[in-house]
Structure 1
Amino acid sequence: MSLFGQDRSFLHALPASDRRDLLAEGAPRGYEPGEIMIRERDTSAYVLALLSGWAVVSVTTERGARLILALRGAGEVVGDLAAVDRGPRSATVTALSRIEAVAISGDRFRRFLAARPHATSLIMRQLATRLRSADVERRSLASETVLQRLAARLVELAERAGRRAETGTVLELPLPQHDLAAAIGATREAVAKALRLLREQGVVRTANRRVVVVDMPVLVLLAQGRTRPGAESSDKPPPAV
């Protein structure tokens, strides 16, 4: 499962001239932390090209809970699905930090893609990656523990948005516990319990909206479901059954 898109974002994968042409089609927009940029089920069709900052993509479940699907950063576009198929918005996009973006109308975005097969291919590849990620997410929700899913999210955040420090890897994204819970399909209480286990075993340290990964190898093993806090590692094979 992955909160992030492809290693190379849509804007960065475009030739420089195409990127300039696309951005010239829109108007600059700024969003403050917590501000809704795109609302689920809305019928608008504009696309936002992110120039800086981080945004959270989420949906509301049938039970009214919030489920975070992805994090989107500089170089990525959001709102492209509704622009392409002209259907209602499939998710809500909320600013996690201060964001600078360019808003491009759906009509102009479609014309841009129609004139550039390479850009269309990039968008199709992006949509396919998101679909595959959603399939993996459904499997993990059905088969993995809260601790395993949380460990996987923390590993990913450390690898994609972490800063190395003397004490470990500092997660730079200011995700509070309720957002971590929404990112793994769990309750805030379950995430708090899992974080407490990780702290007690010296795997992570936490503060207000701050997580430091102290023992990455153990966290990776937890994400793979191969060990648990407090369990002693062993090279011996499991007994035959």
Structure 2
Amino acid sequence: MDYAPDTTLMRQGEHSTHVLILLDGHVKVVTTSYNGKTVLLALRSRGDLVGELAGLDLSPRMATVQTAGPVSARALTSSEFHSFLETNPGAARTITGSVAAKLRLATERILDYSSHDVPARVARVLVRLLHDHGVRTPEGLALGIRVSQPELASIISASEAAVSKALTDLRGRGVVATGYRRFTVTDVPALMEQAGFPPKSRRIPYS
């Protein structure tokens, strides 16, 4: 199936149980708290599985999934998903490992961002996003998916004003160039230094 930009594929709280395999494009996984605040939980791209928790246990959706640009995906019903896992134990182990990795990453992110100041957290979230979605350009290492400053702020649990101040400082030092929902890192070692990574690891692998 092909989806247009800004299409809601799954909605938080609904009882749908289909699972999507992303073939091309990117999606945003967001949740809304009881006080109405929207938080960007994750970005998913080609090869990722989306909606597998509800597909496995038939529980209500924990988050909303929206397309960030055109997306192509294969949709599986819950019964198709379960049938495939039952007949392909190797795939079942892989998906179990994927779910565990997502939980581990979420836990690490909470611990990681809670132990640093806002400038370091901004740098660290950019490093993580570039690791998964970085694209080499003549200007530097660009984030291949559009993310807004409010979304960055929601990821690291910081105010938009604090994130804007940190990005202004990075721009002023020539570390990052920004546009409308666009980020390009022009000085990777300096970004890694602000993120607090040791010198030997100051290189970002990218897709």
Match of 2:144 in 1: 172
Q: Structure 2: which 5+ residue stretches go unaligned?
A: 199-207
- How many angstroms does 1:104 deviate by? 0.8
**Is it true that 1:48 corresponds to 2:43 in the alignment?**
no
**TM-aligned CA deviation for residue 147 of structure 1:** 1.4
Task: Give 1:91 deviation, angstroms.
Answer: 1.2
1:83 aligns with 2:60: no
Deviation at 1:225, TM superposition (A): 6.8
Secondary structure at the counterpart of residue 62 of structure 2: coil
Give CA deviations for 1:197-221 in whole Å, capped at 9, x if unaligned: 1111111111122211111101111
2:4 aligns to what? Answer: 32
Aligned length: 199
Q: 1:208 aligns with which of 169, 177, 180?
A: 180
- In the alignment, what sits opposite 1:17? none
- Structure 1 stretches of 4+ with a deviation exceeding 4 A read none
1:105 to 54, 58, 77: 77
Equivalent pair of 1:56/1:71 in contact (CA under 8 Å) = yes
Larger radius of gyration: 1
Q: 1:44 aligns to what SS in structure 2?
A: coil
Q: Measure how far apart 1:179 and its partner are.
A: 2.0
| Structure 1 CA distance for aligned equivalents of residues 59 and 100 of structure 2 | 18
| TM-score (norm. length: structure 2) | 0.89
In structure 1, the gaps of 5 or more residues are 1-28, 227-241
1:64 is paired with a residue whose SS is: coil
For 1:135 and 1:78, the matched residues in 2 are separated by 19
Residues 1:156 and 2:138 are matched in the alignment: no
Q: Percent identity?
A: 37
Q: Partners of 1:121 and 1:219 in 2: how far apart?
A: 36
SS of the residue 2:66 aligns to: strand
What amino acid maps onto 1:193 in structure 2? K
Task: Name which of 72, 95, 99 aligns with 1:127.
Answer: 99
